[in-house]
Amino acid sequence: MFSTKSHSSIDSIPHNTHPFHLVDISPWPILISFALLSGALTLVNWLTLGEMSSNIVINSIILINLVSIIILWFRDVVREAKAGYHTKKVQDGLMLGFLIFLITEVLLFFSFFWCLGHSALNPTIEIVTWPPLGVNSINYLSLPLLNSVLLLSGGWIATWAHHSFFLGNKTNTLIGLIIAVILTIIFVYVQYLEYSYSEFTIADSVYGSSFFILTGTHGIHVMAAVIFLCVATYRIFTDSVTSEHALNLDFALIYYHLVDVVWLVVFLVVYFWGG
């Protein structure tokens, strides 16, 4: 058993007459904007000019810069939470912002599904059929089915860990999160194997392009879900999360379930119907 009492409250902050948090000036929003712009320009340069235009040193600097800014920004957010600035009103606002972010993620995947559906239902005269002639699609009963079991199992176990946390069982929470992380990492590895043994590439007509951009973007989101779960596991292990302020764990679980749902649609549309 472990304590579920809050570390601090807004009552400990003097001169506050409202439940909202007026944030201090922060350099992180503008810095992460430049970091993301640098990454986007590098990606466009690689996609248009090819691998020879890519510089591993510059790419590494951009990646390290981006990760560093994210870590420092979230460090400040955690400090604000521990200082008692995250009242119930503030937590509701953070949750609303996160849900709006998830809506943008849904719209992103919707655009990819729209591209796939349009190409499959209205093939050009060059494509004729779907999948196009000469493209051997991946059997949905092979690695995709295995990945479905892995990801859905991880989501179920992560939900069990979430419930265990609010029941005050730290051991079950940590065990559940660790198992979910392991299953998700195996999912990413199986996706890598699928790409390795695939008989078509991203350059094989609109089918290859839509397949890899859709499954690849989902894979990136799966990696983000792993990071979410790892951070939540570490913070629970160090007793940095309480039942009164568990947004980190809530965000991780909601994000993971979004990845779950998107994968179900990917499996049904891309592998089962589209294949």
pLDDT per position as a tens digit, 152-188: 999 999 999 999 998 989 999 999 999 999 999 999 9
3-state helix/strand/coil string of 85-130? CCCHHHHHHHHHHHHHHHHHHHHHHHHHHHHHHHHHHCCCCCCCCC
Q: Are the C-beta atoms of 275 and 184 separated by less than 8 Å?
A: no
The CA–CA distances, whole Å, from 53 to 41, 49, 65, 209, 220 equal 12, 6, 20, 21, 23
Q: Measure the CA angle with vertex 260, ends 256 and 261; round to 5°.
A: 120
- pLDDT recorded at residue 57: 83
Checking if the pLDDT of 7 tops 70, the result is no
Band of the pLDDT at 106, cuts 50, 70, 90?
A: very high
Look up the pTM and report it. 0.83
Question: Does residue 103 or residue 23 have the better pLDDT?
Answer: 103
Q: Are the C-beta atoms of 130 and 205 separated by less than 8 Å?
A: no
Checking if the pLDDT of 243 tops 80, the result is no
- pLDDT recorded at residue 3: 46
Average pLDDT, the chain: 85
Residue 245, strand partner residues: 242
Buried b (16+ CB within 10 A) or exposed e, 34-59: ebeebeeebeeeeeeeeeeeeeeeee
**Full set of structural domains in the chain with CATH:** 22-84 (1.10.287), 88-273 (1.20.120.80)
- pLDDT recorded at residue 125: 72
The CA distance from 206 to 124, in Å, is 10
- pLDDT recorded at residue 16: 61
Q: How many other β-carbons are positioned within 10 Å of the β-carbon of residue 226?
A: 22
* Lowest mean pLDDT segment, chosen from 6-20, 107-121, 232-246, 254-268: 6-20
